[in-house]
């Protein structure tokens, strides 16, 4: 039997226009999809971080046969807001929510990313970067900690090497860390600092508004010397909510628990007597700001779901009418 026709196991490191880069035996090889993939739905196609079985062709393109079951899959609605999901990365253990401690800092955005991470099955870790540019780091750390019991928080300066020791535990052999956040937040700089060498290109931000210039242009999986994996991603302007209900409930699990304690099962937390949510806000146990955030993310998620249904209904009608 020809051993070379046996399926091999590799990991997608990059998704290109018509091909995939696959990590295999410490090398990156190029592969294409087996024809039957073209009948598959988007969620079944390989994304960065996927383990795939493929037939190796040392002389040319290898052929991906199947995608292995995933331990996690991070997704977001596409930016056109049509309700179509974009599948970003798979098999991620920790999702670093990278936010710099300048104008980039945004409490709501961190909560959004946390919901997306929890929805997809990854642990959300808020990494507040550029601590060297901030005089009240502690205040930000405390505020981010209030978002959710599920979120871990670290403040670092990759430039000065402050706080980096704390991050080491995440980069254990076999583990996968994905970095997400705005352009210019310092994702690639952090990866270089962890790796101890310049793997990724980095770029200066605009002085006027602290915004980056989209230096990283595609998602990329990198294997570190100790066998940990890290995924760098291009800066995202925003992250929408769609299909994120479980992630939102997980992020705000304490509010769900309060809601369950209301006297009426269908309590809207408005004028009903025996409302545990209102009581918690009144006593200061629950902050109004956080409760409003929970409500608005839930609303956005529901609206996008309704929109998605509406679009798929009109596509069906269109097909029927043809
Ligand atoms: N002062 C300071 N600057 C930093 C720190 N980390 C990163 N920077 C700077 O921030 C700028 C942007 O860093 P990048 O690592 O390219 O940011 P990025 O998040 O990868 O950006 P995109 O690839 O565009 O998404 C660079 O000029 C870095 O030198 C830090 O800890 N302190
Ligand atoms: Mg980058």
**Helix (H) or strand (E) segment spanning residue 98:** strand 94-100
Q: What is the pTM of this model?
A: 0.92
Domain at 166, CATH number: 3.40.50.300
- Domain shared by 291 and 315, yes or no: yes
Write the CA distances from 23 to 8, 53, 65, 269, integer angstroms.
11, 11, 15, 52
Distance CA 271, CA 219 (A): 48
Domain boundary among 178, 207, 232: 232
How far, in Å, from the CA of 197 to the mean position of ligand 1? 15
62 lines ligand 1 (CB under 6 A): no
pLDDT the model gives residue 208: 77
Q: Domains in the chain: how many in total? A: 3
- Domain shared by 19 and 167, yes or no: no
Relative to beta strand 20-24, strand 7-15 is antiparallel
How far, in Å, from the CA of 206 to the mean position of ligand 2? 14
Residues 237-253 have a mean pLDDT of 92
- Beta-carbon contacts of 244 under 8 Å, excluding residues fewer than 6 positions away, are 115, 116, 119, 297, 301
Residue 181 inside a domain? The answer is yes
Nearest to 98 by CA among 291, 234, 215: 234
- Domain shared by 91 and 186, yes or no: yes
**Domain extent for 140:** 73-232
- Domain shared by 220 and 118, yes or no: yes
- Domain shared by 101 and 202, yes or no: yes
Nearest to 22 by CA among 73, 67, 59, 75: 67
What is the number of the ligand 1 atom nearest to the C-alpha of 98? 19
322 — pLDDT class (breaks 50, 70, 90): low
pLDDT the model gives residue 2: 47
How far, in Å, from the CA of 295 to the mean position of ligand 1? 33
Domain at 294, CATH number: 1.10.40.50
Residues 227-255 have a mean pLDDT of 94
The answer to whether 144 and 293 are in contact (CB under 8 A) is no
Q: For a pocket test of ligand 1, which of 97, 212, 232, 235 has the largest count of ligand atoms closer than 8 A to its C-beta?
A: 212
Residues 104-113 have a mean pLDDT of 95
Nearest CA to ligand 1 atom 24: 214
82 — pLDDT class (breaks 50, 70, 90): low
Which one is predicted more confidently, 124 or 209? 124
| Percent of the chain scoring above 70 in pLDDT | 95
Residue 250 inside a domain? The answer is yes
pLDDT of 1 above 80:
no
- Beta-carbon contacts of 45 under 8 Å, excluding residues fewer than 6 positions away, are 33, 37, 67, 87
- Domain shared by 178 and 46, yes or no: no
Structure confidence by residue, pLDDT tens digits, 156-191: 999 999 999 999 999 999 999 999 999 999 999 999
The dihedral through the CA atoms of 16, 18, 23, 28 has a sign that is negative
Relative to beta strand 229-232, strand 176-181 is parallel
162 lines ligand 1 (CB under 6 A): no
């Amino acid at each position: 039997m020809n051993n070379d026709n046996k399926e091999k196991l590799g990991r997608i490191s990059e998704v290109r226009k018509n091909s995939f880069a696959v990590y295999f035996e410490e090398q990156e090889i190029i592969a294409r999809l087996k024809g039957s993939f073209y009948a598959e739905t988007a969620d079944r196609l390989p994304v960065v971080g996927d383990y795939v079985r493929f037939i190796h062709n040392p002389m040319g393109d290898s052929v991906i046969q199947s995608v292995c079951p995933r331990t996690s899959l991070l997704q977001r609605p596409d930016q056109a807001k049509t309700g179509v999901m974009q599948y970003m990365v798979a098999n991620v253990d920790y999702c670093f929510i990278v936010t710099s401690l300048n104008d980039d800092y945004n409490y709501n955005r961190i909560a959004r990313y946390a919901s997306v991470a929890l929805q997809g099955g990854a642990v959300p870790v808020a990494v507040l970067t550029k601590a060297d540019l901030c005089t009240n780091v502690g205040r930000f750390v405390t505020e981010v900690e209030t978002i959710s019991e599920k979120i871990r928080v670290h403040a670092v300066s990759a430039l000065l090497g402050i706080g980096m020791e704390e991050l080491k535990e995440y980069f254990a052999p076999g583990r996968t860390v994905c970095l997400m956040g705005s352009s210019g937040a310092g994702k690639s700089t952090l990866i270089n600092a962890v790796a101890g060498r310049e793997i990724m290109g980095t770029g200066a931000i605009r002085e006027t508004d602290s915004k980056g210039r989209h230096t990283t242009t595609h998602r990329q999986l990198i294997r570190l010397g100790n066998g940990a994996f890290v995924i760098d991603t291009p800066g995202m302007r925003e992250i929408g909510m769609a299909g994120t209900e479980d992630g939102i409930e997980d992020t705000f699990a304490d509010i769900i628990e309060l809601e369950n304690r209301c006297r009426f099962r269908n309590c809207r937390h408005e004028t009903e007597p025996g409302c545990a949510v209102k009581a918690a806000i009144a006593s200061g146990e629950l902050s109004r700001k956080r409760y409003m955030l929970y409500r608005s993310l839930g609303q956005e998620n529901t609206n996008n779901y309704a929109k998605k249904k509406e679009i798929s209904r009109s596509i069906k009608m269109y097909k029927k009418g043809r």
